[in-house]
Amino acid sequence: MAFTEPVLLKRIPQDPSKRKVFWYDDYVATGGYSALKKATTMTGDDITKVVTDSGLRGRGGAGFSTGQKWAFIPKERKGPHYLAVNADESEPGTFKDRYLIDYDPHQLLEGIAITAIATQCDIAYIYIRGEYHRQAKVLERAIAEAYAHEIFGRQGIFGSNTKLECYVHRGAGAYICGEETGLLESLEGKRGWPRNKPPFPAIAGAFGRPTVINNVETLCCVPHLIERGPAWFKTMGTPKSAGPKLYGMSGHVNRPGVYEDELGITLQYSIENLAGGMKGGKYKAAICGGISMGVLGPNELEVKLDFDDVRFRGGCLGLGTAGMIVLNEHTNMVAALRNCVRFYAHESCGQCTHCREGSAWMHKILSRILDGGGRASDLDMLLELEKTQGIMPGTTICGFADGTAWATRTFINKFYEEFAALCPEEPRVQLTIRRGTQNVAVPMGSNTR
């Protein structure tokens, strides 16, 4: 294990009584903003190269290479470029970004400033989840300090040529505004409805201009990377998933909370060594990266928590945010899925037919199964709905519906017996009607309720 000391959490001790907010002076006293000073002497391309070489992948869910994303921003400037910081953090089970903002806001601001140099951004908008009242205030104060210390503002970052303004934009309580183009629409003052892609935000993002969108944790990695270099970064994690990662542990564990370790630790390790072991019963399942990624089953304790193993060996959509919800043996998986799907039915933005209707249907079917009215055909319907929604089958505008699909798919496939027990095979009743002189069989879908 090459993870020797906390990186992102270096100013946030595990013991709650010792935690405090690191304002500007404390931040600088502990080595803050030295990476930014270094970055002001580098070219944008150099910074982007460092980030690409490090193998940093987005921590907001999709795991896309951050350096590559920055490289998509046009070199030639025909107007302003924007940086949108995704602090909407609404994925159930995910609460790591809040933690970073709560105690170490300048780490994020430093990452923002370096990213702006790399991608020639003029304005950074921190799009923060509406419910994060306290965090928005912390950021406002930290930003004011950064202005006062010549990081943001017209004089340029530490007097350099990159001039950056920074604003906090508060969301209004919709999960879909975390999806990058939904976020941009909301930022522009419209309804948070994801856009058709292409064009991608790097070409036409906020207000039609090139825009970088990154997660809070992704940006928090950047100062450390600049300071200590890609080789150091790669000593942590696995070859394709480098660096440190915050794990948000919750559910039936003894010590829920945010923990830092490298990418690629096993599920077992995260439960035993980070979260203090199972509570109230033996391990049964773990939702690995927010519910949109699906669930890891009983035989998957050895799966490595990185961007690839969770997919290939764990059968999930991906690592997502590593917001882990661990479930013990007493959990009713049907009820757990219904709870997840209720979230999707509530949060679907309502643009795409499949997502709008599919999520509502899934919730309806799961509710009737739980109410004792389940039938075998209900499972077929759930699986049909699940298969036909998402970007993957090509039926929706954004990845929200894939989340609904993967949660449903992995729950039913991995805990099939539990579902089947509530969905008995029904007696086949064939209805006939008399048409003219003949009896004709009625083509009954068994699910016309």
Partner 1 sequence: MVAAPVVNITVNGKAISARPGQTVLQAAADAGIEIPALCNHPHLRPEGSCRVCLVEIEKQRTLQPACTFPVADGMVVQTESAKAVESRKMVLQMIFSERSHYCMYCQMSGTAQSTDCELQKLGYRYGLNHWSYGPNYAKNWPIDATRTHFVMDHARCILCRRCVRACQQIAANHTLGVQQRGFKTMICADDNVQFGESSCVSCGTCLQVCPTGALADRRSAYRGHESEVTRTKAVCLGCSVGCGIEAITRDNQLLRVEGDWKAGNEGMLCSVGRFDVVEPKPVRIMWPMVRTDGRLVETSWDKALTFAAGKFRQAHRVAGLASPRLPNEALAAFACFFHEVLMSNEVGLLYGEDPPLELGQPAVLHDVAASDCIVIIAGNPMKQQKVVGHLIKRAYDNDARIIVVNDRPTELDSYAHLRLQLQDVSYHGESPFEQLKNTYHLRGTGVSQLKAAVEAAQRPVVLYGGGLTTTVYAALRALPAKVHFLPLINGTNAAGAARLGLRPRPVHGEALYVMVGDDLPDGMVLPHRQFTLVQSAYRSAWTESADVVLPAMIWAEMKGHMINIEGRSLPVAPLLVAPKSVHACWETLLQLSMRIGYSLSFDEISDISKAVV
Using CB under 6 A as the criterion, which residues of the chain lie in contact with ligand SF4 when the complex forms? 176, 194, 348-352, 355-356, 396-398, 400-401
Q: How far is the CB of 179 from ligand SF4 (least distance, A)?
A: 7
Between CA 63 and CA 290 the distance in angstroms is 14
Q: Which of the 8 DSSP states describes residue 57?
A: B
Residues 146-175: x where in contact with partner 1 by CB under 8 A, - otherwise, as a string:
----------------------------x-
Residue 350 touches partner 1, criterion: CB under 8 A: yes
Residues 390-409: x where in contact with ligand FMN by CB under 6 A, - otherwise, as a string:
--------xxx--x------
Nearer to ligand SF4, 114 or 352 (CB): 352
Q: How far is the CB of 57 from ligand SF4 (least distance, A)?
A: 22
3-state secondary structure of 231: helix
Beta bridge partners of 441: 432
Closest chain position to ligand SF4 (CB): 355
Query: Where in 82-101 is the site for ligand FMN (CB under 6 A)?
Result: 86, 88-91
Between CA 404 and CA 361 the distance in angstroms is 12
Q: How far is the CB of 401 from ligand SF4 (least distance, A)?
A: 4
Q: Which of 8, 143, 333, 349 binds partner 1 (CB under 8 A)?
A: 349
**Dihedral of the CA atoms 279, 280, 283, 286 (nearest 10)?**
-70
Residues 369-388: x where in contact with ligand FMN by CB under 6 A, - otherwise, as a string:
--------------------
Residue 186 touches ligand FMN, criterion: CB under 6 A: no
90 binds, among ligand SF4, ligand FMN, partner 1, none (CB under 5 to 8 A by kind): ligand FMN
Query: Where in 199-258 is the site for partner 1 (CB under 8 A)?
Result: none
Residue 73 touches ligand FMN, criterion: CB under 6 A: no
Q: How far is the CB of 399 from ligand SF4 (least distance, A)?
A: 7
Which residues, in sequence order, are CB contacts of 210 under 8 Å at separation 6+?
Answer: 73, 74, 81, 82, 119, 201, 202, 203, 204
Number of C-beta neighbours around residue 399 at 10 A: 20
Q: Tokens 């999930």 appear where?
A: 316
Q: How far is the CB of 154 from ligand FMN (least distance, A)?
A: 28
> Which one, of 32, 27, 94, 12, lies nearest residue 60 by Cα?
94
> Using an 8 Å Cβ cutoff, are 35 and 224 in contact?
yes
Q: Where are the beta strands (DSSP E) in 104-239?
A: 123-128, 165-170, 211-215, 237-238
**Dihedral of the CA atoms 306, 230, 111, 131 (nearest 10)?**
10
Distances from the Cα of 66 to the Cα of 47, 99, 127, 228, 417, angstroms:
11, 22, 18, 17, 41
Structure tokens at 226: 């600049």
Residue 277 is which amino acid? G
Q: Which of 191, 255, 313, 330 binds partner 1 (CB under 8 A)?
A: 191
Residue 180 touches ligand FMN, criterion: CB under 6 A: yes
The binding site for partner 1 (CB under 8 A) comprises: 174, 176, 191, 196, 345-354, 356-361, 364, 381, 384, 388, 391-397, 443-445, 447-449
